[in-house]
Every structure is written in structure tokens, then in C-alpha cells.
Homo-oligomer: A and B are copies of this chain.
């Protein structure tokens, strides 16, 4: 059974993709909404939260852990693999790095939260092309407010994406679960000649299980947990999962 965690509700978009491919699998999702957003928190705290999230999911019966959050993938994936040896732990960055290497580009852009970008994870793992990194700390708030199509958002996007255009990036990694929701707006600002790379899709495509493997049919449950109920939880779950969900609360 899959155990997926994210700092908030953004990772629900990964659940949507997983459900499409693994129709017989069970899912437990944990949104660590009490600590949302991870993007401005310290590495130590993010590792601590990621540890507690993983332990919770395993206690609930998960056998495969999916880190849907880019900030946690950048700062805590290796730490979790060391702490939970023997448990298959997948993050959104590792398969994306493989895909970028396969694409064999000269210059690639990365946008993400401040913590993801400051981790320098892509610079550390990719030596074969130039990387243009841009933290976009305002985008998550704008997207959660539903301000995806407002002129202010376009103006902020233009500001953030200007260095990528100037340096002629050939591709752009959307290194935050939220950014796929403003994919069209990013394309509008950048132009279609820049290939957008969505790590959630790459991660799900990269998984090599099939429906019968590893995932017992007896465990086909679907559960959503959060560490706090944000005020706009129902609306946000609709945005990211396409439907309102019933979530339970766990304090940790």
C-alpha cells in the first residue's frame, strides 16, 4: 500500500496520478498542514517532520513511501532512507534528475520554494548541463488563493522567469507540487519553446511495480490524514484532487 506525504494538500495531485496508474492499490495520504509551508523552514525541522510523517504512514500499514513534497525530497529523502532502511522510499527529485540527464540539454531552469532552491540539489546531482535556479516564494500563496489568472500573478511570474528567458533555458523543472496548477500561465510567459518538466508525472511513470506486485488487494483502502484542518481545506482538496475529501486529524 502506498503512503504519500506532503507539507500540505499539493501532493494530492500525485495521488491522482498514482490512482490512474495503480488502479488496484491502496493509498494513505498525510498532509502535514500544521507545518505548512515547508518552503521557508529549516533543514533540521523538515527532516524531523519527514521522519514523523513516514513513521505515521508505516504505522498505518503503508509499505511504499512516496515523498510528494519537493522541499522534503530535496532535504530529507536521503535522511529517511538511512533511518528507514529496507523500506522503499521514492521522492520526486531522483527520477527527475534521471530524466534531465536523458534529455541531454545545455541549460535547464529550476523553480521551487526557497528551501528547495537553496538546497542546491539539482546542481549537486546534474553536472552535464548549466542550471539556472530561481526561488519563487510567492507562487504557493498565489496559487492557494486561486489567483492563477490575475494580472498580478502574471507580473510576478514575469519577474521570476526573466532570468530563465534571458539565459535561454531549454527546459524548466516545476519543482513544487503547486506549480502544475499554473503550467499554462508559465507557458504563456515563457513561450512554448521551453520544455516544462513535471516531476510528479515523471515519478509516477518511473515506478516499475505493476498492480499485482507488492500491493496486496486486501489493503485497498483510501485514507486522508492531516495534522491540522486549514480553513480552506475543502476548497484546496477540490483544487488538487478534483473532489472534496474527508480527512482525519492526527497530531504530531
Contacts and interface: CB of A to CB of B under 8 A. Distances in A.
Interface stretch (A10-18, A83-91, A95-103, A223-231): A223-231
A9 B95 CA distance: 37
A232 B145 contact: no
A75 to B, nearest CB: 11
A138 B251 CA distance: 27
A155 B147 contact: no
B152 A228 contact: no
B138 A142 contact: yes
A35 interface: yes
Given A41-B34, A45-B34, A232 B114 contact: yes
A151 B141 contact: no
A121 to B, nearest CB: 15
Among A45, A152, A230, A232, the one with the most B-chain Cβ atoms within 10 Å of its Cβ is A152
B145 A155 contact: no
A12 B48 CA distance: 27
B138 A228 contact: no
Given A137-B145, A138-B142, A45 B228 contact: yes
13 contacts: A33-B41, A34-B35, A40-B231, A40-B232, A41-B228, A45-B228, A48-B251, A115-B231, A138-B138, A138-B147, A152-B155, A152-B156, A155-B155
Interface of A: 33-36, 40-42, 44-45, 48, 114-115, 118, 137-138, 141-142, 144-145, 147, 151-152, 155-156, 159, 228-232, 251
